Each structure stands twice: as C-alpha cells, then as structure tokens.
Structure 1
Amino acid sequence: MVQEIIRIEGLECNHCVVRVGRAIASVQGVMEVDVNLEKREAVVNFEETRTNMGKIRTAIREAGYEPL
C-alpha cells in the first residue's frame, strides 16, 4: 500500500471535504482517505497495483477541485 498527500485548491468548507473525500474514495483501489480542511490536503492510502495518482487526481478534478 502507498500513502500520498495531495494538496487541493478550492477546499473552503465541510461540504467540500465530503465531496472530495467521496470522489477519492470512489476510485477503485483507494483503501483510505482523510481530507483535512485546515491543511487543504488529502492523505490517501491506495494499492498501487489497482490504481495510480493520475486516476485519483482525475477524480478530484471531476469533483470540481484542483489537485496541486
């Protein structure tokens, strides 16, 4: 399992946190996600044999936010 920290532009409220968390969690292979509003980042644990950062970043963009 791999852990990555992704800075996310546009996180402004708890609704944003929920939306981004659900988007990331929906990516097959993501095992755990913790989105932090204060830090404006997500800590993602995923199986690198089942997904990759490109897919996770795409899910964030599709939710309306920009991964940095």
Structure 2
Amino acid sequence: MMKETLNVQGMTCGHCKMSVEGALKKLEGVTDAEVNLDAGQVDVTFDDSKVNVPAMKEAIEDQGYDIA
C-alpha cells in the first residue's frame, strides 16, 4: 500500500470533506482518504497497482476543487 498527501484548494466545510473523501473512496484501489480542512490536504492510502495519483487528482477536480 502507498500513501500520498495531496494539497487541495477550495475545501472549507464538512460537505467539501465528504465530497473529496467520497470521490476518492469510489476509486478502485483506494482504501482510505482523510481530509484535513485546516491544512487543505487529503491523505490517501491506495494500491498503486490499481490506481495512480493522476486518477485521484482527476476525481478531486471533478468535484470542483483544485490541486495545488
């Protein structure tokens, strides 16, 4: 398992947190996603044989947030 921290711009509330975590957890290979609103980051635990960082970034951007 791999772990990656992504910087996400535009997250301000609980709904933002749920949107980003939910989008990531729908991806095959993502086992955990935890948003830290104060830091503007999401920690993602994933199987790199099933999903890659660009796919995770795209899932976040599809929710309307920018990756720093």
Sort the TM-score into its range (normalised by shorter chain): over 0.9
C-alpha displacement at 1:67, in angstroms?
Answer: 1.4
Q: Which runs of 5+ in 1 are unaligned?
A: none
Residue 20 of structure 2 aligns to a residue in which SS?
helix
Please give the alpha-carbon distance, in whole angstroms, between the structure 1 residues aligned to 2:30 and 2:22. Answer: 11
Q: How does 1:1-68 map to 2 (within 5 A)?
A: 1-68=1-68
Q: How many residues align?
A: 68
Aligned AA for 2:41?
E
Q: Detail structure 1 runs of 4+ shifted over 6 Å in the superposition.
A: none
Deviation for aligned residue 1:54: 0.6
User: What's the TM-score, normalizing by structure 1?
Assistant: 0.96
CA RMSD of aligned residues (A): 0.6
Instruction: Give the TM-score taking structure 2 as reference length.
Output: 0.96
Distance across 1 between alignment mates of 2:49 and 2:30: 11
